[in-house]
Amino acid sequence: MKAVLGLEDGTCVPGEGFGTEGECAGELVFSTQMSGYMEALTDPSYHGQILMFTFPTLGNYGVDRKNFQHPRVWAMGCVAREICDAPEHGPSVADYFAENGLLGIQGVDTRMLTIKTREKGTLRAALVVGDDNGEYAVGCARNIPQISDRDLIPAVSCREPYHLKGSGKRIAVIDLGIKKNMVLSLKARNADIHVFPHDSGSDQVMACRPDALFISNGPGDPVHATGAIRCISDLAGTLPIYGICMGIQVCGLALGGSTYKMKFGHRGSNQPVRYKDGSIYITTQNHGFAVSADSLPEGCRILYSNVNDGSLEGFENEYLDITCVQFHPEAHGGPRDTEIPFFDTMFRRLD
């Protein structure tokens, strides 16, 4: 199929479409991971974005459904240099996209697009599959709102509370678009999990008598997570609070700090972070916003910082019993050297 990717700066990149005919628009972002492509595509944090992979070949081991982070693909579209059409296991990415009405483009210069993104920052883009009208694609890209102007959280959050029974500590979870692996990491520690929609109030959360509050990842600008911010503000100091990815951002906002949009964000499974003792961890990350470290109030201590750009990757407030990280310990980037410290420390403190 014909296909074209149009960017708001006027760039048109024709290629070969895969999946089904149609069009989509969103912020074009890139991930440097070499595997785990279906985990990324099904991550609700990519809602509102077109996901481009920098690794030149995508899909060599097919579609591995058991590692999906959500039952569906949340990325608006997929951009790749080449899609493997004969994977070693399972259906191909192209076949999966076709069967599920998803949009993708291959045969494009992803290196050029990545360099452009690094130089100019993330750009709005439109992907058209079934046509190669670049002028039309550019127009679509320019017509969509900036990601900061879109509240993407309600679409990915659960609509009603639900309970995952366990024999251990009772954990209340605010679902801003939670990944499956976060739930699995909690369940592996026998947690009794009560999951609440993004706009749940503190009274509703406390009704389950939790031992701790956990704030998940999510898409878009964290300032739109007003319910979670308000809930944290109400409960800070009354029970332990933990957060991952957007979880750290809403915790920072709830404490009176500020967040900012990064130039092109951190996405991939090879992001180095430095712990407070100087040790280095290789982490999985997916975020385009970050907490301004200088904005955090007195009592907050920086735990982790990004080796590449110095951005905040984790902080704690011992007085309020808040601990949160920007990277994804549940994603096993090391492969488990950050999951074990984060979750084991969390449950050890609750004992």
Catalytic positions are 245, 328, 330
d(CA 136, CA 168): 55
Phi-psi region of 126 (alpha: psi -120 to 50; beta: other; left: phi over 0): beta
Exposed / middle / buried, residue 334 (Cβ in 10 Å: 0-12, 13-18, 19+): middle
Across the chain, where does the E strand assignment appear? 2-7, 12-19, 22-31, 49-53, 57-58, 77-79, 82-83, 103-106, 123-129, 162-164, 170-174, 192-196, 212-215, 241-244, 259-275, 280-291, 300-306, 312-317, 322-325
Exposed / middle / buried, residue 302 (Cβ in 10 Å: 0-12, 13-18, 19+): middle
d(CA 122, CA 99): 30
d(CA 252, CA 246): 10
Exposed / middle / buried, residue 7 (Cβ in 10 Å: 0-12, 13-18, 19+): buried
